[in-house]
Structure formats: structure tokens, C-alpha cells
Chain A
Amino acid sequence: MKTLNAIALMLFIAAAVAVIFFLDTPTTRAVQAKVMSVFSPFIHASATVEDSTSKVLASDIDPKELLSDNERLRLEVQKLSIINQRNEELITENAQLRDALSYKQRSPFKNLIPARVIKRSSATWWNTLIIDRGSLDGVGTDSPVVTNAGLVGKTGRLSPHMTEIILLTDEACKVSAAISNTREKGILSGERAGLEIMPDLRLRFLSRNAVIPVDGDVLSSGDGGVFPPGLKLGSVKRFENREVSGEAVIRPAVDFNHLEHVFVVSLPPEEVTSKPAP
């Protein structure tokens, strides 16, 4: 081996070892925030393109039908169609925002930061989303993210104007959960590589032979210091007895494929384990 290659190899190994063993978590988070800030213009650009494309594909104008009409009617139909499309868009958006607003009004949390989902970011084995709010908007790491349907996940990597959300369907997002009308508590998380369009969740460490009602609500219990109690997580699909403990398969409350607006819960530490949400 040439001397230059040997030196390069030694330097590479030394640098890699230094990164692995000497970068602590706060430094790593700072590095991740910087890198995300650098790439944020590209993420925004990509989200804009995707948004425009989906809007074009969603158009309900049939050009063949329009061509069969005379010139005046065609122009009229086109004009009305465009107006109608815009109205439908506004009605949908209005409904979503009303829904979101009513959730914000009846929510027990004082500090809800509304955010728009801008991109579905799928890394190799992790399930994440990116929202358009970041550290400058008051979002912190490990904050719960909710919709009116229930818990979406928690915040991960932050940049000044963007945040990555670790979805509840990811194995990395663990929530202490309880099944309503029972005394059963467990830990809810997604399955490893739960990449399906609508993956199930797993509620582990339940008692063996526990009587679990099918379709029973699963709510966060508030233990663990991250997620407040009373957040809807899903409903029981079935119960399975494992070697040591029981395990329930949970249908998520949130439709993760059609998320457009979410709220980041910004809670001071002392409020996290307060009384359950209604």
C-alpha cells in the first residue's frame, strides 16, 4: 500500500473514532440543527413543488368534455371550473382550520403552536415528517405533537424554521399508555420498520391473560415526562399473549398519511404530569 493511502486510512479511522466517541449529545444536536438549516431551502423548495404537483394532479377538469362544447361554453366552463376548484380548496382549508381552531379552543394545553406539514421525510429505517415551525417559533426538542384526532408523535431535530417530527408509528417514539376502563398500562410504540401506509402500533408489557376490550380507547398515561396524560393514541384491534407479558395491537387514532396541520404542545416541565385531559 502506498504511503499516502496508509496515512489517509489512518487519518480516516482517527477522525471517525473521534466523531463517534468525543461528540456529546448537545454538540450533536447543534450539528444536526446546523445541517438541517443548511438544507432547509431545498426542503422548502421540494415541498412547494410537491404541493403544486399534487394540486395539478387533483384537478377535476376533463379536457375532452370541454373540447366537445362550443367556444363560449368551453370558456365559461373553464372559468367556472377554476372558480369552483378554488372554492372547494378554500372550503376544505376552511374546514381544516375550523377543526384545528376548535381543537385549540377546547384543548387543555395553553401553549399550542400550530404548524403545517411540509414534507414526508423517509430516512432509511425511520418514519418522520417535517413541519414549518422551528426553534425560533418556540418549538423545543421532545415536545408532543397532536391533532384533534390524537397524538402524532414528538419533535426531534430542530432548525430555526423547521422541525422534524418522529411519528408515533416509529419504534423510536415510545409512549406510556393506558387502556380506558381497565387497569392495564403498557408502552406503546410503532413496529421496527413499520413502513406500511397505515401501520399498526404495539402496546407491550400488559398483564398476561388481561381482559382487553376490542375497540377500547388507548390514551397516554402521562408517565415518563414527555407526553401529557389523556392524549388519544388509538383503539385496540386485538390482544396477544406473549411468553412473559401480554401485547395489544393498536389501530392509530391519527391518519398519518393525510396530515396537513398539527399542533406542537409546548408545556413547562411541571405541567407534564398534571391531571388528564378531558
Chain B
Amino acid sequence: MLFNLVVMILMVLAFAVEEMLPAIQILQNVRLFHAAVFFFAASVSVPLPTMLLMAFFTGFVWDARYLMLPGRDSSVEQLTSANLGDAGSFSTMMSDGSMDLGFGYSILIFGVLGLLMQGIRPLFKKGRWELPVLMVGVVTTMWLMLQYLLITFLHGGFVFSSAVWYKTISTVMFAMLSAPLLFLMLHILARTTNYEIKYEGLRYRFDGR
């Protein structure tokens, strides 16, 4: 119980830490999405209800902090279409179908990705970190791609530039580099708080072996 509480507090702090991390300008402003990576790492170590609570919190705060809400100029295309040349009617048609991501969609994405991470708990409790670290990379890729594909689906126009790959790969590399440190921290925390993982009826003392 204490472990879950501390992990929840660390989850809140992860967002504060994320604000402190700078974007690296020479790498196309790539940065470590610490809160998301911490959530993925912590999902392996906590029970399902706690993971879902964390997913809700992470998704909610993520959207509150980073999601772009549609502004007043979403109607700019309709307003200007009357003044445009040959493409006037085309622009109106295009803008009618334009939508934006809704607040709260990240909650579902984090929930689904957290469930995927829960699937590798047996390996993690045995102290095998290779697959969990790899899985952090996989779910980070899925998270970025899901977001990007949703934007593409809602805005229309399939654009997949090299910058998208560059950003995805760099972000995933950062995530995978920080994941072992997070797993180590969770292991130490689990040992300190005498936390036990319960999985499919098995009882296992979380001692890092």
C-alpha cells in the first residue's frame, strides 16, 4: 500500500521534473517525456487498479498541460474561402472535415498502454529488465504514433516526413535510456517498503531476484 502511494506521489513529481527538462534544440527540440516514461515503467510494478488510477491521472494532466485546444481561427478557412481564388470551394470542403483531438483521449491511450505493460509483470518480478526496458521503448513508440495517427486522421492529409521518424526514434532512445534507472528506483523503493507483487494468485516477494 505504501509502495503504491509513493509511486503515485512520484508520478505527480514526474510532471514537475518534466517541466525542468530542457528541449534539445540541435536535435529538433527532442526531449525526454519523463512523466509518460515514468508511467510506463511504474505500470509494471503496481496492481491493475493503481495502474488505472495512474493512467487516468497521467492522461488528464498530460492533456491539461500539453493538448492544443481549437482556437478561434478554426473558422478562418470558411471565412476566407469567399476571397480565395479557384480553390475557394475546395478549402471550405477541407475545413468542414477538420477536427481536433478532444480533451481526455490521452487517458484512454495511457490506460491501454499501461495494460500492455502489465502483461510483462511476471518477467519484471523475476528481476529481468531487458524485456521491460524494450517494452518501454515499444509503448513509447506506440504512444507517439497513436497520437500522430489520430492527428493525421482528424486533420486529414497523410504527412509522414523524416522529422516524424527522427523525433520518434530520438524520443524512444531517451525513454529506453532512462527506463533502467526508473526500474532500479522502483526496485529499491519496493525493497524499502517491503512491497510484494501479486500476480495471477501467485505471491512473490519483490526482492529483485
Contact = CB atoms under 8 A, between A and B. Distances in A.
A67 interface: no
Given A16-B56, A172-B68, A193-B161, A39 B19 contact: yes
Contacts of A195: 28-29, 163, 166-167
Contacts of A132: none
B1 to A, nearest CB: 14
A115 to B, nearest CB: 18
A185 B83 contact: yes
A8 B90 contact: no
A225 B73 contact: yes
Given A5-B48, A5-B49, A221-B80, A207 B71 contact: no
Contacts of A141: 71-72
A4 B64 CA distance: 29
A123 B66 contact: yes
B122 to A, nearest CB: 16
B75 interface: yes
Of the candidates B72, B74, B148, the one having the most CB atoms from chain A within 10 angstroms of its own CB is B72
Nearest to B161: A193
A90 interface: no
Interface in B80-124: 80-81, 83-88, 90-91, 100, 102-105, 107-108, 111
Contacts of A4: 49
A234 interface: no
Interface string A174-214: 11100000011111000111111100000011111010000
A142 B28 contact: no
B183 interface: no
A123 B22 CA distance: 11
B37 interface: no
Interface of A: 4-5, 8-9, 11-12, 15-16, 19-20, 23, 25, 28-29, 31-32, 34-36, 39, 42-43, 45-46, 49-50, 120-127, 141-142, 154, 156, 166, 170-176, 183-187, 191-197, 204-208, 210, 221, 223-227, 244-246, 257
7 contacts: A5-B48, A9-B52, A19-B107, A20-B104, A120-B25, A192-B155, A244-B90
